[in-house]
Amino acid sequence: MESVISAVFKVESEGYQALTELKRLPVTDAYVISQAALLKKSNGNLKILDAFDTGAETSDDTVVGGLIGGLVGILGGPVGVLLTGSVGALVGGALDTDDAIYNASLMEKVSEQFVEGEVAIVALAQETADGALTDKLSKFDVSVVREDAAEVAEEVRRAQELQKEMEREAKKRLREEKKAERSAAIEERREKMKADFEELKRKFTKK
């Protein structure tokens, strides 16, 4: 079965070691790894510490642009913040996120389990034996979550659409706010000019 697997490590060095081992031997009788990235959550942001792509999906040597790259982009962007419960701060309830986000599987689970300062390997893999990669990583202090890769790909697509909608809404609101600010500034300047002229008239009337 093709799966997206998230393995969260309590010890950062173990995450590096695990990725090195997977990179060294991405294809075995029990599993095949297409893409993998080692991530760290720091100050609320996701950072890619290391990554590899065997070319099985993206035909190049970069994780950017593939399913894992798309997933990381979502988790590290505003939709990732939505998954941590900051809906109100981001969109003020203006968007219907219930269907697109709250029914998410792996993205929601990863967001819940991936805490500040920890590292995680997120990989696209095919396992011919159930739990093959869990067995491979069992020597580490790790928590593993797996979901159907096709379902995750659809989640990512829908989340990317939501992210674009959020960006459009944010730009619209910024334009409206700037217009309101400009209108307020113009009115304030108009009132000041009137006051200046009134003061000028009073000075000349007293003479």
Q: Name the strand (E) or helix (H) holding 193.
A: helix 149-206
Q: How far apart are CA 90 and CA 173, in angstroms?
A: 12
Question: For residue 179, with 0-12 CB atoms within 10 Å meaning exposed, 13-18 middle and 19 or more buried, which class applies?
Answer: exposed
Q: The tokens of 40 are what?
A: 């760290």
pLDDT value for 87: 32
The pLDDT score that the predictor gives to residue 102 is 43
Q: What is the DSSP letter of 101?
A: I
Report pLDDT for 132: 92
**This model's pTM is above 0.75:** no
Instruction: List the chain domain ranges.
Output: 2-193
- The single residue listed with the structure tokens 């970069």 is 62
Instruction: Tell me how far CA of residue 175 lies from CA of 59, 116, 143, in angstroms.
Output: 41, 34, 44
Q: What is the structure's pLDDT at 62?
A: 41
Give the model's pLDDT for residue 99.
47
* Residue 27 main-chain phi, psi, to 5 deg: -125, 120
SS3 72: helix
H or E element in which residue 35 lies: strand 31-42
pLDDT in tens, the chain (207 residues): 888 888 999 899 999 999 999 999 999 999 999 999 998 877 767 788 898 887 655 444 444 447 887 777 777 665 555 554 433 333 333 334 444 444 445 566 666 666 777 888 998 989 988 889 999 999 999 989 888 888 888 878 887 787 778 778 777 877 877 787 888 888 888 888 998 888 888 888 765
